Structure 1
Amino acid sequence: MNKQIWKHRAPLLNTWQAIESGTLRLGFIGGSITDARARHNWPEPVIAWFKEHYPHVRLFVENAAIGATGSELAVFRAERDLIMRDCDLVFVDYSVNDDEEASEKRMRTREGLLRKLLADCSRDVVLVHTFRQSFYREMSVGDTPASIAEFEALAEHYGIGSVGMGLHALEEVRLGRMRWEEWLPDGLHPTERGSLSYARSVISFLEKELPGSVNPVKPTAKPLQLPLPLNPNNWENASILPLDEIETEGPWVIRRWPHLEWMDQVLETSAIGAKLKFTFEGTGLTLGFDFGATSSELRYRLDNGPWKISERSRPVWCGNDGWYRMFTVAEDLINGSHEFEMEVVHGDTPECKGTNCRLALVGIIPGPITMMQDE
């Protein structure tokens, strides 16, 4: 097997035990390439493989992937969408969606996500690396794009297996097994054939790891406690401020939100000049919105500082709403108490077609982790 594609770092102990118990819960989290709503993405053949090989096992699937989102949002969603649902094996796909984030930020969010998933040693995690056109130049000469290399550094530190799905598909193109347009007609999103290539790379990884495979070695060692973090500023302790703790001025309503399954409630208004404020403890703040062309912009400030106005892009593919979009207000504040104030404004550009403000998440970025570990 190509060691650049498949990295077997630690046995899938929890997955073995779940299969033997007769109940297995698979989790997926990532972006559009993993999103279940496409109905043909790579998790589907992987799920089918599990059902074929373990017909006696009751299989539960928790696909929490959302298109156009990254690990910044995943940190806050992991508890509700994966951990509380008792997933035994979680596949994480953010090499593509985090690529345009600054290196330091994505290392903080990714490590925070992994530490949340691994904290109680009750689930296995496998990283999967997909592909985007900007990766081609490096990968075609055997180099590793920075977004993938940084993820691999975390995988090595935490003993997490990984699969280079994009590299596997690129090899299939090189060998003439698949045409490029069968894989990535738009340079990012695979067709059914491309998704099958991604799935086959994951299945090959699983065939070396799990019972019923060729010469698998049954794991006997218990998982170790988490090592110290690589980055003490990671977001492991990131938390969510409840919407009902926000002070509002104007016609705001907390609504159960039927339009995006990943949002339980939103704090909503469409009134220009409607305001809100709250205090929080930490080093930064990030907000999650149901966002689109008809969304408002934000006039905001921290700690009585200067007012700023957001200028969020609205790509051609962006609809009127339905994009779970994060907006980072601040990072690397002095760790302590801070006050945030916000006012709804129109973006005053042709691309801004409304003033809908639908706040679904108030994410608090924690201070540095301080912990002791026995040697």
Structure 2
Amino acid sequence: MTNNIIQRHRRPLLRLRQALASGTVRLGFIGGSITDARPRYNWPEPVIVWLTEAYPHVRLYVENAAIGATGSELAVFRAERDLIDRGCDIVFIDYAVNDHEEPKEQRMRTREGLLRKLLQDGSRDVVWVHTFCQSFYRAMAEGGVPESITELEALAEHYQTGSVWMGLHAMDEVRRGQLRWEEWLPDGLHPTERGSLSYAQSVIAFLQAELSEEQPLTATDERHELPEPLNPRHWGEAHSLALSDIQVEGPWVTRRWPHVEWIDQVLETAAIGARLSFHFVGRGLSLGFDFGKYASEFRYRLDHGDWVTVSRSRPDWCPDDGWYRMYGIADDLPAGTHHFELEVIHGDTKECRGTNCRLALVGIVP
């Protein structure tokens, strides 16, 4: 991949074009804080406005499922409820930045799993969008491609999905003197309203090219068969365990969760020494929590082995609670049934200031 290509058109956006012709479009987004709808000015907003202006006869529904400070490890478990079941005709995926600090093997398993889930039934188009963080600067300044983006482009090529390198578009604007760096990324990561507009303009240009009358429709309406996976250990069959299937010891309560909009229910306690356990069938296990500085730590063990004590980082920006955060337990267990146990503890670091254990997701990888 050369460093001067912002848009990559691989397969026509057949599902989006069909939806536009029908008069109803469901537009999906998933990613991190750069795509999150809550700031109200991130790049999806100008894209949405452009679509409403370009296609005034179309009823547009928006499903922005992006959550700040989360990656594809969580997204792969949310794909059905937050995108697929809501009938999205096209989904834009933004995980170049949020995944890049994860181990390469781990992030490629979760990214490909998410992509395969979205493409499985042939009902939607998928477009990768690549944003920017300061860690990407050196490679891009030297005309190269950051490793995280190279990997995503390999997936896009293999599955013939389009992609837009939004970060490169904005950097090119800086090079031409059309955008000041502080207008784009004052903190090196999160774009301002002006920077978000730059990102959006690259996506709008991609859509204009895809939806122009001159663009031929070469794809058929037949269901697309997925190719063989690049990584046979992908998480395409990942699913969640019902909280009601968990056994508890101590003062636990399952409650509807009004504090994080992407969480339906949590299994909650604030009691040191409270325990839970469950059986699962699979090779992988990942837990999702409503996390923050008031969150407890925990220790766990698998299959009655040794106890492992967890000590999670709490960056300065970490809130007291409200961060939907994943913690990976295992991904290469022997096939079969496994037993998991967890005990609530108070962490021994100054960043851990509470004992709230709020389990929101038990993710299983078969």
Both proteins in one fold, TM over 0.5: yes
Tell me the residue number matched to 1:216: 215
- Aligned residue for 2:293, secondary structure, equals coil
Match of 1:253 in 2: 253
Q: Which residue of 2 aligns with 1:346?
A: 346
1:42 aligns with 2:43: yes
d(CA) in 2 for partners of 1:72 and 1:256? 23
Distance 1:300 1:220, change over 3 A: closer
Deviations 1:294-320 (A, max 9, x none): 000011100111101100011110111
**Following the alignment from structure 1 to structure 2, what is the Cα–Cα distance between the partners of residues 322 and 113?**
24
C-alpha distance in 1 between matches for 2:11 and 2:234: 23
Moved more, 223-232 or 315-324: 223-232
Q: Pick which of 219-228 and 245-254 moved more.
A: 219-228
Give the 5 Å matches for 1:75-86: 75-86=76-87
**Counterpart AA for 2:182:** E
Q: Please give the secondary structure, in 2, of the residue aligned with 1:112.
A: helix
Task: Kindly provide the amino acid, as one letter, of the partner of residue 277 in structure 1.
Answer: S
Matching of residues 108-127 of structure 1 within 5 Å: 108-127=109-128
Contact preservation (8 Å) 1:207, 1:214: no
- Aligned-residue offset at 1:227: 0.6
1:348 to partner: Cα distance = 1.9
8 Å contact kept, 1:184–1:190:
yes
Output the amino acid matched with 2:342.
M
Question: 2:16 corresponds to which residue?
Answer: 15
Distance 1:113 1:218 in 2: 26
8 Å CA contact 1:92, 1:127 repeated in 2: yes
- 1:363 and 1:148 mapped to 2: Cα distance? 26
Aligned AA (1:82): L
Shift in Å at residue 23 of structure 1?
0.2
Name the residue aligned to 1:272: 272
Q: Distance in 2 between matches of 1:319 and 1:99?
A: 22
- 1: CA distance, partners of 2:213 / 2:15: 19
**Aligned residue pairs: how many?**
363
Equivalents in 2 of 1:315, 1:84: separation in Å?
34
- Partner Cα distance (1:321, 1:61) in 2: 27
2-structure distance, mates of 1:190, 1:303: 45
Aligned CA RMSD, in angstroms, stands at 1.0
Tell me the TM-score normalized by structure 2: 0.98
* TM-score, length-scaled by structure 1: 0.96
- Gaps of at least 5 residues in structure 2 are none
Q: Distance in 2 between matches of 1:156 and 1:349?
A: 45
Per-residue CA distance 1:16-65 (angstroms, 9 max, x = gap): 00000000000000000000001110000000010000000000000000
Partner of 1:101: 102
For residue 284 of structure 1, report the CA deviation from its aligned partner. 1.4
How many angstroms does 1:214 deviate by? 5.9
Q: Is the 8 A contact 2:11 2:219 kept in 1?
A: no
Separation of aligned partners in 1, 2:6 and 2:285:
36
Cα deviation, residue 266, structure 1: 0.3
Query: Could you say what secondary structure the match of 1:343 adopts?
Result: strand
Counterparts of 1:141-160 in structure 2, within 5 Å, are 141-160=142-161
**Which whole-Å CA distance do the structure 2 matches of 1:224 and 1:269 have between them?**
46
Q: What CA distance in whole angstroms lies between the structure 2 residues aligned with 1:53 and 1:116?
A: 30
SS in 2 for 1:87: coil
Partner of 1:306 in structure 2? 306
Q: State the 1:218 CA deviation.
A: 3.3
Q: Is the 8 A contact 1:43 1:199 kept in 2?
A: yes
**Does the 8 A contact of 2:130 with 2:164 survive in 1?**
yes
Displacement of 1:107 in angstroms is 0.5
Judge which range, 301-310 or 213-222, deviates more: 213-222
Measured in 1, the distance between the counterparts of 2:70 and 2:144 equals 26
Q: Aligned pair in 2 of structure 1 residues 338, 321: CA closer, same or farther (>3 Å)? A: same
Q: What is the rounded CA distance, in whole Å, between the counterparts of 2:226 and 2:217 in structure 1? A: 22
**Identity of counterpart residues, as a percentage?**
69
Q: Match for residue 294 of structure 2?
A: 294
The aligned residue for residue 373 of structure 1 is none
Distance across 2 between alignment mates of 1:269 and 1:359: 9
The residue number in structure 1 matching 2:57 is 56
Deviation of 1:217 (Å): 2.0
- AA aligned to 2:48 is I
The runs of at least 4 consecutive aligned structure 1 residues that moved more than 3 Å come to none
